[in-house]
Amino acid sequence: MILDELRTPIVLAPMAGGPSTPELAAAVSEAGGLGFLAAGYLRADALAERIARTRELTAAPFGVNLFAPGAPTAPDRFAPYLEQVGRQFPLGEPKFDDDDWDAKLDRLAADPVPVVSFTFGCPAAAEIQRLHAAGSEVWVTVTSVPEARIAIEAGADVLVAQGAEAGGHRATFVDRPEDDATDPLSVLALLQLLTAAVDRPIVATGGIATGAAIAAALVAGAAAAQLGTAFLRCPEAGTAALHRDALPIETPTMLTRAFSGRRARGLRNQFILDHPDAPVAYPEIHYATSPLRSAARSSGNADAVNLWAGQTHTLATEAPAGQLVRDLSVAAKDALNRTTRAPGVFRA
């Protein structure tokens, strides 16, 4: 398993929409962690180019992450919302697509990478078998025990356990508004529930930004920690300047569907606050809000951009990614060494 071969149990979270670059993935892999390319929002050809570029930069293993496609939403479910937003902002066409799913799977089967991970759902068993036959490991992101059981049944090798703290979209297989009434599981809660219920290596993700938190995830049973927001300010990341600059500011994060029609965690801003009841309609709302997001990004209006961020965003530093991996590894080892002395606190 790739996880057994890594020099450090640190995984770069795939981050679609700009931040993920071949340079960032390669820097993390070169430093002994596992870099990831995000395939989300890319056509299969563009993904192939990024894979080729990453291979030029490193001979170390890296992964590719895909969005599992959902189903189209009836236009009457999102039309009133878009009409409301459209009174204030320019909008695009609310179209549905499957993110070039078949073409990406065909490419990955023909020209495999060491790991293929999935979010937003679990691929069919036959699709996982096809990737296995090509020589790839398959990781599936889960947010609950029932999702983990589905992933294992389909043949997943590794579970990525995404806690509520995580920046960006929730990986939930189906985004249901009726679930909003219950709290999503934190990464520590999810890790405990998964280690008790299933037998697969687990990569913990969500709000992990320090060596101590990586150590905590390992102590709680994770095989590795996957960090996203912690890498957003690295020079190799393709994060927009506006986004980069907002991360160190102490702002609460919140879950929202306002920008994309799928629940995601971002820095609180006016657009999120103005649209608390945005409907589930992904990717239709994502496409519709695309012009307003890019206009706001170019005009420097942070109140109308999706500033995806996990709960520990103020801890993100501007260190080069390789340096960050090395610093986090040292800090995690220190924290684990301190932990081996901790049994002294049990006096009974």
Ligand X SMILES: Cc1cc2nc3c(=O)[nH]c(=O)nc-3n(C[C@H](O)[C@H](O)[C@H](O)COP(=O)(O)O)c2cc1C
Token pair 């056509």: residue:
43
Give the strand pairing for 168-169 and 264-267: antiparallel
Half-sphere exposure of 212 (CA within 13 A, CB side): 3
DSSP three-state, residue 106:
helix
Residue closer to ligand X, measured from CB, 86 or 114: 114
As measured in angstroms, the least distance from the Cβ of 109 to ligand X is 20
Contact 260, 277 (CB under 8 A): no
**Which residues in the 120-149 window bind ligand X by CB under 6 A?**
141
- Indicate whether 78 belongs to the interface with ligand X (CB under 6 A): no
Give the strand pairing for 62-67 and 115-119: parallel
Beta strands in 88-243 (DSSP E): 115-119, 137-142, 158-162, 168-169, 202-205, 224-227
Out of 202, 208, 237, 267, the residue judged to bind ligand X by CB under 6 A: 208
As measured in angstroms, the least distance from the Cβ of 18 to ligand X is 8
**Which residues in the 2-61 window bind ligand X by CB under 6 A?**
13-17, 19, 38, 40
At 338, phi and psi to the nearest 5? Answer: -65, -35
Residue closer to ligand X, measured from CB, 78 or 118: 118
Question: Which among 216, 277, 306 is positioned nearest to 19, based on CA atoms?
Answer: 306
Residue closer to ligand X, measured from CB, 73 or 229: 229
- Indicate whether 329 belongs to the interface with ligand X (CB under 6 A): no
Residue closer to ligand X, measured from CB, 60 or 208: 208
**Tokens of residue 90, six digits:** 């320019």
Region from 126-134, 244-252, 284-292, 308-316 binding ligand X, contact rule CB under 6 A? 308-316
- Indicate whether 206 belongs to the interface with ligand X (CB under 6 A): yes
Out of 99, 113, 308, 332, the residue judged to bind ligand X by CB under 6 A: 308
DSSP three-state, residue 273:
helix
- Indicate whether 65 belongs to the interface with ligand X (CB under 6 A): yes
Determine the Cα–Cα distance for residues 322 and 304; give it in Å rounded to an integer. 32
Contact 254, 272 (CB under 8 A): yes
**Which residues in the 85-124 window bind ligand X by CB under 6 A?**
119
Compose the 221-260 pattern: x for residues touching ligand X by CB under 6 A, - for all others: ------xxxx------------------------------
Residue closer to ligand X, measured from CB, 73 or 117: 117
Nearest-Å Rg of the Cα atoms of the chain is 19
As measured in angstroms, the least distance from the Cβ of 14 to ligand X is 4
Please give the residue ranges that form the binding site for ligand X (CB under 6 A).
13-17, 19, 38, 40, 65, 119, 141, 162, 165-168, 171, 205-208, 227-230, 308-310, 312
